[in-house]
Structure 1
Amino acid sequence: MTDFTTLGLAPALTAAVTRAGFSQPTPIQTQAIPLALAGHDILGLAQTGTGKTLAFGLPLIDHLLAKAGKPTPRIARSLILAPTRELVNQISDSLRALAEGTRLRVATVVGGQSINRQIATLERGTDILVATPGRLIDLMDRRAVDLGQVRHLVLDEADQMLDLGFIHALRRIAPNLGKPRQTMLFSATMPKQMEELSRAYLTDPRRVQVAPPGKAADKVTQSVHFLDKAHKPARLREILSRDLDALTLVFARTKHGAEKLMKGLVADGHNAASIHGNKSQGQRDRAIKAFREGKVTTLVATDVAARGIDIPGVAYVVNYDLPEVPDNYVHRIGRTARAGREGEAIALCAPEETDLLHQIEKLMKIEIPVGSGSRPAAAGKPAGGVGQQRRRGGNPGQQPRGETTSPQKGRRPRRRRAA
């Protein structure tokens, strides 16, 4: 059986992995780490929740530990770019845990926080700089950071960076990086633009793929419920009320919609919070911390959170609004069934969202089982109902959490609150 000691990592690093609670590498880690240690550029494709952070973080730390000396003022030795503040913070926390007790410094720069404090941090120099592209450019313009010695570049969730328009920022950043360098690009989906990005920034990359692009994690049970938009609030409350202790992540399409939905849930007695672009970084961090600790059991979010929440205890993801970008559905439901656990993804589809559902199913190459209502003929598929078999091949008579039955019949066992 493969374990971290067989991947070629430095003994001190394998010991750090053990202390962090990791015993067996995931498939993406098993394939990517030896190639990255050998210095190859990496194009990694895997759905969310499969351990991509360690797949690039461990070989990066290994390379840096092998280099003598400390970074000089304003120098960054390696750079990790990620599209959201939450994901940057998640990556930084993971790498700091692995680098604990070593001489390596990990610095984080994101928007929404004091740029003067970040300038002071960078003045000392850093081994690993984890950043959102926009704030990094602000710091470059102020000459607060020198990227000329960067020999390792990681683009995490690169497809979302493309979605958010960060390709222009990347074009500004890349010419300032050192050469030669190793570049690792990781993503859960592979749109056409991603191929172009890999050709532009990677040299003879090794492609590592553990699941087809657009495929959800194997342990996610999916269902879609067809109903009028006006009936969505009542259905959501019904879903939440059946397992009050479960951590449930609810996705809304807009910032205003997320906030309004959260306030309505709180008014009805649900323990809810929200994160979206109108929230300060401090508010978002506090909401995620409360959700992680189980003090908040329902978190309403826009897609800003789809890539930045790594909480193994999330039992359910509810797509209250279907996303306009099909790839985002994959990332949303990837917030559950993490770290080998099972999870359930429930989509609420109004008539005007039928085309969005069809695009999602086309991307994933599946037909999401119907939990309630009838599949509209406009979707180009035959009408269906509750009796369809669920995606993981479960018993067709077994009720998913969002089913319209009495609370006693088909009630799911309570899930334990996340620690």
Structure 2
Amino acid sequence: MTTFQSLELNGAVLRGVERAGYSEPTPIQAKLIPQVMAGRDCIGLSQTGSGKTGAFILPILHKIAEEEQSAGPGHCCGLVVAPTRELAMQIVDNARALSKFSMAKIALLIGGTGYGPQINAMKRGADLVIATPGRLIDHLDSGYLSLHRTHVIVLDEADQMMDMGFLPSMRKVMQAMPEKRQTLLLTATMPKPIRKLASDFLRKPVEIETSPQSKPVERIEQHVFTIKSRDRRRALLALVEQYGINRGIVFTRTKRTADSLEKLLRQAGIKALALHGDKSKGERNRALTAFKKAEVPLLVATDIAARGIDVDSVGHVINYEMPHVAESYVHRVGRTARAGKEGVALSLCAPAEQPLLKDIQRLTGLKLPMQQLRLDGAELPDKDASPVAVDAEGAGRQEKRLNRKRGKAGAPAQGAADRPRDGVRPPKKSAWNPIRARVEVPDSADLTAPDLSKPLKKKKKSGTRKPKVGNHRKGQPRSTGLSEAKAGRTPGRKPPRNGSSGNPSGGKMRHEARAKRDSQGRAKGPGEAAA
């Protein structure tokens, strides 16, 4: 029987293994660790929960412990790329526990957190960096991290990274790696695009598969219920009540459906939280913590978000909708019956989804007969019903307010592979410019130079001007309609410039009227004229 001692790991790493409570290696660890220590490129194909993380972390820690020098500031010896922040954080927790005695410097580069601590960690240098694709690209572009001295890179959950649109980022990272490197690719499924990815990135890889990925764990009790599409929401409430689910995951295809089901369950008096890529980092962490502590009995998750869930005591899995890909069914139900425990998988299947069920039966080799589900007493709550309170929700809202104060936009859509996940980018490494430091020009400033070849036009004063009544000079009383009537003109109307039209007396009469009006003004004074 293979033991950790027989794998010839470094003594400090073995002490960390014993301290972490690992008794013997899992099948994937027993087969993959020797190949990684020999420097071979490897493809690890194994089910979720089989110990893939330890299979690549332990040999990397062994190599770091055996090396005499670190990579230095701005560099790292090993790099692990994971699709989600939750999975990256779990890998860091495992790596730090196993490296307790080897004293390896481990850095975490993920979105949703500040750049300052990460930049400081890169300046000090790290032995092992665990990162998500978006944040890793940010640090590479900003010059705070270089991969020229990185000897080994791990692409964990490669199939999920490709589904999330990270393929361009993965290629960019590989181009930043040196030619002489070791590449490890870990995946739960092996579709054709992943085969193509492996042929592009790996050199003569050793493929290790410990168990067929088409076979769910035998201890899982599986049931498929035929329903009508309009009864799907009632059927979910019926399953939760009839099976007495106190620790379960409800899988949906879309983030919108996950949010809708969270509201439905809470209005029905069942504590539940949604988990998907549009949730902020604080909301996702608090939802996972509340679920692990049994404060919330149900998580409503998408396939992508569920990759970061590592809970051994999940008793039930509900497929609210049948997955479009048969391999996803195996991955979903694999969230239960972990660590030697038993589990139950419940699936709702509408008539339009029966072809998907046939694909699952063909992949797994299992016969999953359709069953009828009793919907008696399963009534939808009133739309205006108040949802049951969840302790983790208030903290999630507080985290969103803090993120807004920091100028962060939370987690972006999953397709933004090459953009930072928190909406901001790290500062560029550049020399200090005293001129730019003294003068700050707002983005909205108009910096267009005026055309001096043309005369500048005077701006018109804003506002409306009062209409004049007759002719008026500054410092003289305004003429009234009565004086204009005596002069033979229509009150308020400007006289014509020549004698050809208007008053037949022409300019002579106009001058006489003006002189008479001026003499009256001088005789009466401004006060009487105004009256």
The answer as to whether partners of 1:222 and 1:369 remain within 8 angstroms in 2 is: no
Pair 1:6-2:10 in alignment: no
The residue matched to 1:314 in structure 2 has which SS?
A: coil
Other-structure match for 2:364: 364
* Pairwise CA distance, 1:308: 1.2
Moved more, 8-17 or 81-90: 8-17
> What is the aligned partner in structure 1 of residue 330 from structure 2?
330
Structure 2, unmatched stretches of 5+, are: 378-531
- Give the % identical residues: 42
State the distance in 1 between where 2:236 and 2:111 align. 33
For the structure 1 residues 356 and 123, does the alpha-carbon distance in structure 2 shift closer, same or farther, using more than 3 Å as the test?
farther
Letter in 1 for 2:225: H
Deviation of the 1:166 alpha carbon: 1.6
Write the distance in 2 (CA, Å) between the matches of 1:117 and 1:369: 54
2:15 and 2:101 in contact (8 A); partners too = no
Structure 1 runs not aligned, ≥5 long: 374-402, 408-419
Residue identity matched to 1:8: E
Paired residues for 1:177-256 under 5 Å: 177-242=177-242, 244=244, 246-256=246-256
The 1:7/1:101 distance shift into structure 2, 3 A limit, reads closer
Aligned equivalent of 1:104: 104
* Residue 243 of structure 1: how far off its partner (Å): 5.2
Task: Give 3-state SS (helix, strand or coil) of 1:44's partner.
Answer: strand
| TM-superposition CA deviations, 1:290-346 (whole Å, max 9, x none) | 111111111111122231111111111111122223322222222112222222211
What is the RMSD of the two structures over their aligned residues, measured on CA atoms?
A: 2.0
In structure 1, the partner of 2:410 is none
Counterparts of residues 16-35 of structure 1 (less than 5 Å): 16-35=16-35
- Cα distance in structure 1, aligned partners of 2:11 and 2:242: 48
Mapped pair 1:342 → 2:342: yes
Amino acid at match of 1:32: L
Deviations 1:89-148 (A, max 9, x none): 111111111112332122122223223442233222211111111221122111121111
Tell me if the contact between 1:50 and 1:338 (Cα under 8 Å) persists in the aligned partners.
no
| Residue 167 of structure 2: aligned partner | 167
Alignment deviations for residues 199-227 of structure 1 (CA, whole Å, 9 cap, x no partner): 22112222111112333233222221110
SS of the residue corresponding to residue 270 of structure 1 reads coil
- Report SS of the residue matched to 2:315: strand
Range with greater deviation from structure 2 (36-45 or 110-119)? 110-119
Partner of 1:55: 55
Show CA shifts across 1:76-96 (max 9, x none).
211111111221111111111
The match for 1:65 is 65
Stretch moving more, 44-53 or 193-202 = 193-202
Structure 1 segment 69-84 matched on structure 2, within 5 A: 69-84=69-84
Residues 253 and 323, structure 2, Cα contact 8 Å, conserved in 1: yes
Moved more, 264-273 or 3-12: 3-12
SS at match of 2:324: coil
* AA aligned opposite 1:37: M
**Per-residue deviation, residues 36-58 of structure 1 (Å, max 9, x unmatched):** 12222111111111111011111
> Aligned partners of 1:118, 1:321: CA distance in 2, in Å?
40
Structure 1 CA distance for aligned equivalents of residues 356 and 129 of structure 2: 37
Distance 1:218 1:106, change over 3 A: farther
Equivalent pairs, count: 377
Q: Summarize deviations over 1:16-38 as a string: whole Å, max 9, x none.
A: 11211211211111111122122
Deviation at 1:406, TM superposition (A): 10
Give the distance between the partners of 2:236 and 2:224, measured in 1 at CA.
13
* Higher RCO, Cα 8 Å, sep 6+: 1
Counterpart for residue 279 of structure 1: 279
Scaled by the length of structure 2, what TM-score is found? 0.68
1:95 — aligned with what?
95
C-alpha contact 1:306 1:328 (8 A) present in aligned 2: no
Q: Larger C-alpha radius of gyration, 1 or 2?
A: 2
Q: Distance in 2 between matches of 1:205 and 1:292?
A: 37
- The separation in 2 between residues aligned to 1:201 and 1:148, in whole angstroms, is 16
Whole-angstrom distance in 1 between the partners of 2:115 and 2:353: 41
Amino acid at match of 2:359: Q
Instruction: Please say if 1:354 is aligned against 2:360.
Output: no
One-letter amino acid of the structure 2 residue matched with residue 280 of structure 1: S
Structure 2 distance, partners of 1:229, 1:118, is 48
**2:155 maps to what in 1?**
155
In the aligned structure 2, how far is the partner of 1:242 from the partner of 1:99?
A: 46
Q: Using a 3 Å threshold, how does the CA distance of structure 1 residues 178 and 340 change in structure 2: closer, same or farther?
A: farther
1:9 aligned partner, one-letter code: L
Is contact 2:12–2:101 with CA below 8 Å preserved after alignment?
no
**Separation in 2 of the partners of 1:362 and 1:160?**
22
By how many angstroms is 1:405 displaced?
10
Task: Give the distance between the partners of 2:62 and 2:374, measured in 1 at CA.
Answer: 52
TM-score by length of 1: 0.85
Q: Is the Cα contact below 8 Å between 2:324 and 2:356 reproduced in 1?
A: yes
* Counterpart position of 1:115: 115
